[in-house]
Structure 1
Amino acid sequence: MAEAKTPPQPTDSAVRLGLRENWRQFALLILVNAFVGGMVGLERTVVPLLGSEDFKLASTTVIASFIASFGISKAFTNLVSGQLADSWGRKRVLILGWVIGLPVPFLIIWAPSWSWIVSANVLLGISQGFAWSMTVIMKIDLVGPKSRGLAVGLNEFAGYLMVGLTAFLTGWIASETGALRPEPFYLGIGYAVLGLGLSVLLVRDTSEHVRLEAGNHPKVDPVGFKEVFMRTSFRDRNLFAACQAGLVNNLNDGMSWAIFPLFFAARGLGVEPIGVLKAVYPGVWGVMQTITGPLSDRLGRKGLIVWGMWLQAAALFMVAALNGFGWWLGASMLLGLGTAMVYPTLLAAISDVAHPTWRARSLSIYRFWRDLGYAVGALLAGLIGDAFGLAWAIAGVGLLTFLSGVIVAVAMQEAKA
């Protein structure tokens, strides 16, 4: 696809590792990932309300099904994205992600039934599994071992700041127009076109950077996918601790995506203030990762992960127990801060342990477990919400988040980047 326009790839003599040495491509990938994040932000405020208001769905579990479809498809796409990146090249996988994501806003705009929304989210999950995975992996490839936390922090900053901004904009547009669609989703069409165009025309592959870094490590025998999966998921205590924490982190994010708009609406908030609350959480999450990512390079990974999980748990208990926009705004800020402490640090922790020759696969396996949490969280919260009420669903997920932090405190050993 338009390979003739792709800038020439660097030769071995031109390849350097480091943020300063690769700042142009690094900055371009930050911009690309901002558009990737914007595609998720399209759905944070408006889509759950579409389920309850436009499609008249009474079951919280049914409404949450669109997040489950997103999480499952993204998780399994993550699982293969690293293998494809190693065998096919990072850039090609990134472009594939954008091509698959292009129809998503159109499907939501034209959806005559809830099944179309669920189907759109299958495509969105596949798109995110390819595109977001590649922007993370390519930045880690570019900077080398000294600045992984910084690289991941900046990548996730761009993505989740755009999630928050788009969540706010879609809520504001819906409030101004008096309709939940189609106007809020025009943003997504622009994001997809710009992201695809930049990826095709300007992004360069980073395979040479991987080879350069691997040359500075002791040679290892080729490792198969099954071995990498077992090592990442269960056998290595640091990798296991990171995987379960990632799953629970996104479990509570999936719950908030599905439940928070319904919870706040049931307590009298309109679309615009719900959009503000839905924007603050990923907005704080995004911005603070510019601090927590590099901080983990200096202070280590474990403490930030443990305390970040516990801070998230406290924030969820606040949302469930307290009432009023001010309390919920404060809790959303704390939830964003706790997630910012955890999110880039977990990716950096995986990169600390995994050898460059199988790092992409290890990261993809971690992201499989992490993003499976979207489906688990949405469905679990939906079932609890239908049976006991939305406040109990939020508090139950808060308890799981606290226990996940305990597991990290016990199982993870500090490893310097």
Structure 2
Amino acid sequence: MRRPQEEPATSRLWKSLKEAVRYSLVEPSRQEPGVLLLALSTMFMTMGQGIISPILPLLVQSFGMTAMMVGFAVSAFALARAFANIPAGVLTKRFGARFVLVLGAVFSVVGNLMVALLPNYTALVVFRFVAGLGSAFFITGAVIFVAAVSVPANRGPLMAIFQAAFLMGLTLGPSVGGITADLFGLASPFFLVAVVSALSGLWAVAKIPAGVAQIAGEASGLGGQRQPGGAEGTMGGFSVFRHLGYQAVNIITAGTFFTRSGALFNLWPLLGKDRFGLGPGPLGLLFTLPSAVNLVFQPFVGALADRLGRKLLLVPTMFLVAASLLLSAVSPVLGLFALAMVLYGIAQSVEGPTANAYIADVAPRNQLAMAMGVNRTIGDVGLVIGSPLLGLIADVAGIPWGLVANAGVMLVVAVLFAFLAQETVGLRAAPQVGGDSGAAGRGPGQRGDADP
């Protein structure tokens, strides 16, 4: 009797890839087409951020400043976001996501345009603060929009679509910024950022439906439109802010933003310039690597986060970030430095959408906007601290030691999350109440429906 012919491995791989794309992109987009409309606006906004990332440290150094002063310039942007994230959540709840998206684009246009027109260190710090307000309003509004239109079954994939658009902008931005700076000077990319920020705002006005994520009087929204968050209301006075898992994912966000500020926005560009002699153009091309890799892995993240669980992905991801930082610190050749950036990109492809989905799992409907805003604010505290602190370590002991210190921080973050957080989806999900997982997170020892 003839045995059935086994399907070739390449065919099985191709089918698996198509299934991942269908699950993570096609089906969620059919269910919630508004997320695709938001994605283009998000791509324009984050392209602006990507344009600046490899250029800002070089511009600050051109004013004769140290690595720590580069850190303060980066932190001005982050400090604004730390102040603005919670108000952004409140305004989204009051006026809807589109209003906050457009307001963020306006702040971004003004801030970046003034940096370009007034090329000195003081003006750069002041107007990077203004641009940071724009980033906070836009990104917080966008995340709340996705959470508002999603349900547990498609939240992971929809967050992954948003993250992919976010990363597409970051992927395109650095090379565009580097080439622009090479051709027209270090201030010229800021003009370009003002233009793409304006495009982002105009697209939001034209395509994003009004009223999404708006809650009038703590209640209903737009004709049957699902409101933010997990459950259809709070569960017996449950507060997500007392939930250990929510507190733990805030630690992850703080560590991730600390690394973004200290390594990606400060030490890595300076390392590329000092150790490998890279100018703006080559630096820009190199800095496309993390975002490009991140983008490639996005189709798989939503499915993995939903099927395996959020915690199961987040813990090893933090260890991978630490490994990438250590590798970059000791890399003697450009190829190893590039590999470190690839590893960082893989880690970021998991962290962003999975952490956002974890928050949406544990937060009740009428607490989600504030929970997202607080999470962004805590992350931006990491963004504020990371760049000047690691810049100071780099000034005193050298750039590699700054990266080693950053790796140590991420190892601590991984251990804390592993011990504090409960799983919210998948086979290992802990029984909880309050959020969209069917159990919005209570910490150990809490009493389910009787939560005070």
1:332-362, Cα deviation, whole Å (9 max, x unpaired): 0001101212111110000000011111111
Map 1:3-402 → 2, pairs under 5 A: 19-23=29-33, 25-53=34-62, 55-57=63-65, 59-175=66-182, 177=183, 179-182=185-188, 184-205=189-210, 206-207=212-213, 208=221, 212-213=225-226, 217=231, 219-220=233-234, 231-232=240-241, 235-256=242-263, 257-267=265-275, 268-402=277-411
Distance 1:79 1:19 in 2: 29
Larger radius of gyration, structure 1 or 2?
2
Letter in 1 for 2:309: G
Distance 2:223 2:174 in 1: 35
Using a 3 Å threshold, how does the CA distance of structure 1 residues 219 and 164 change in structure 2: closer, same or farther?
A: closer
Q: Is the 8 A contact 1:18 1:142 kept in 2?
A: no
1:173-200, Cα deviation, whole Å (9 max, x unpaired): 223x162232x33421321221111122
Tell me by how many angstroms 1:317 deviates. 0.1
Q: Is the 8 A contact 2:53 2:174 kept in 1?
A: yes
Q: Is the 8 A contact 2:302 2:353 kept in 1?
A: yes
Letter in 2 for 1:347: N
Structure 1-normalised TM-score? Answer: 0.88
Tell me the equivalent position of 2:11: none
Letter in 1 for 2:59: L
Distance 1:121 1:137 in 2: 24
Distance 1:210 1:243 in 2: 33
Tell me by how many angstroms 1:210 deviates. 9.8
Letter in 2 for 1:79: I
Aligned residues: 389
* Secondary structure at 1:102 match in 2: helix
Using a 3 Å threshold, how does the CA distance of structure 1 residues 408 and 120 change in structure 2: closer, same or farther?
A: same
Letter in 1 for 2:255: V
Tell me by how many angstroms 1:38 deviates. 1.4
* Secondary structure at 2:245 match in 1: helix
Q: Indicate the RMSD between aligned Cα atoms, in angstroms.
A: 2.2
Q: Is the 8 A contact 2:70 2:388 kept in 1?
A: no
1:356-404, Cα deviation, whole Å (9 max, x unpaired): 1111111111111112211111121111111111110011001111111
Greater CA deviation, 393-402 or 272-281?
272-281
* Secondary structure at 1:45 match in 2: coil
1:117-136, Cα deviation, whole Å (9 max, x unpaired): 11121111111111111111
Using a 3 Å threshold, how does the CA distance of structure 1 residues 219 and 97 change in structure 2: closer, same or farther?
A: closer
Tell me by how many angstroms 1:271 deviates. 2.4
Tell me the equivalent position of 2:15: none
Tell me by how many angstroms 1:19 deviates. 4.1
Q: Is the 8 A contact 2:235 2:364 kept in 1?
A: no
Tell me the equivalent position of 2:17: none
- Unaligned 5+ runs, structure 2: 1-26, 214-220, 426-436, 438-452
Q: Is the 8 A contact 2:258 2:383 kept in 1?
A: yes
Distance 1:126 1:286 in 2: 26
* Secondary structure at 1:103 match in 2: helix
Using a 3 Å threshold, how does the CA distance of structure 1 residues 322 and 210 change in structure 2: closer, same or farther?
A: farther
Using a 3 Å threshold, how does the CA distance of structure 1 residues 84 and 180 change in structure 2: closer, same or farther?
A: same
Letter in 2 for 1:20: R
Using a 3 Å threshold, how does the CA distance of structure 1 residues 353 and 56 change in structure 2: closer, same or farther?
A: same
1:88-111, Cα deviation, whole Å (9 max, x unpaired): 222211111111111133222122
Q: Is the 8 A contact 1:41 1:166 kept in 2?
A: yes
Tell me by how many angstroms 1:214 deviates. 5.6
Structure 2-normalised TM-score? Answer: 0.81
